[in-house]
Amino acid sequence: MRRAAMLCVAFLLVCGCSSGAGETTAAPPVVQVWPPFDAKHARPDHGLVIKAHGGTLSQVLVYQSGEPVSGRLDGSRTTWRTNWTLKPATEYTVTATATRKGAPATVAMGRVRTRMPEKTFQVASTAPLPGETVGTGMPIIIDFDAPVQDKAAVERALEVTAQQPVEGAWRWTGDTQVIYRTRRFWGPRQRVTVTAHLAGVRGGDGLYGAADSTFTFTVGRDQTTTINAGTHQMTVDRDGEIVQRMPISAGMATTEEYTTTSGVHLTMDKGNPVRMISPGREKGDPGFYDLMIDHAVRISNSGEYVHAKDNVWAQGRENVSHGCVNARPDQAAWFYASSLRGDPVTITGTQRPLAWDNGWGFWQLPWEKWRRGSALPETDATDDGVPKG
């Protein structure tokens, strides 16, 4: 292994007389850089670690393509490490200064280059979309373009920053998708930034993150909806005040399919109109339908919408739908116009519970169960030692 090159700078006053009897100069501190200077194939997932032996680090400057690289000093000011992994196939320049009382300062300068990965992965899609304004129940969903094996490493690279700090956790639903849910609903009217520090993260055997990815979304007003299928009533609350009451008709409940699910739903998307076709039935079969439905707001993956229907004879009195919640056309149009993705819609009064993985039914899981889907232990200890490649 090649040792890091050191430049010792001595700040000594030179004069005609020698130093006094018994006076000694302390040995200069030693700076250790890992990966070592002149490395050509450093592992990007190990980051960069700089240590001072026999002194403390007074300054560390790391650059990549002229841009500063963020890092942090430990409490003893003897170890500095990058905050995140390094970019693959990239050169980094390092200048680190260590000092010790009564000794010359030591300045270490050099370059490190990371290896080219065999395979890469990156963020393929996100919800919310960048710049989107969403409801207070909105999850953060990240899909990757390749299966992730080392989920803990990837999860550590995901950062959520909200203007109003909130407790949240990631849960993996497969090898290519991870979902973030807050413990309680987001506070309204705030900006949230999501950064996937994926560049250099080892996602599996020979698989490394290709690039970092950042997007920002806004949590809008606080709108929640409650629907009671037993009383056939729907109430919309905005910022603590009731803004709309609607008589509705829910699923007729003659089969499980035709039973509206009870639980905390989230609005997922909407269309005007939406084509609705009876599942598992062909034209001519009993119960077959193929309809264009106006002002439809989707709340699950099992075909449930809040939508318009001109059957005011049933709304407020009887459940006659195929599982959706229908309202008077003018009121359904109002709900359609006022809905954001991620608005909570809580339904009660039926015998069919909403499954947590039906659409965005994530609020159906108690917090502790949700957290068990994380790849990280409750205490994610950090190794302060120098990583070995």
Residues carrying an active site annotation: 307, 324
Give the per-residue SS3 of 366-387: CHHHHHCCCCCCCCCCCCCCCC
Q: What is each CA distance from 190 to 64, 186, 236, in whole angstroms? A: 33, 9, 21
Reported as type and span, the H/E element at residue 271 is strand 269-271
Q: Which residues pair with 226 in a beta bridge?
A: 235, 346
Q: How far apart are alpha carbons 160 and 187 in whole angstroms?
A: 14
3-state helix, strand, coil in the chain (%, to 5): 5, 40, 50
Q: How far apart are alpha carbons 265 and 357 in whole angstroms?
A: 11
Q: How far apart are alpha carbons 112 and 389 in whole angstroms?
A: 13
**Phi, then psi, of 305 in degrees rounded to 5:** -135, 160
The CB-side HSE value for 101 (13 A sphere, CA atoms) comes to: 0
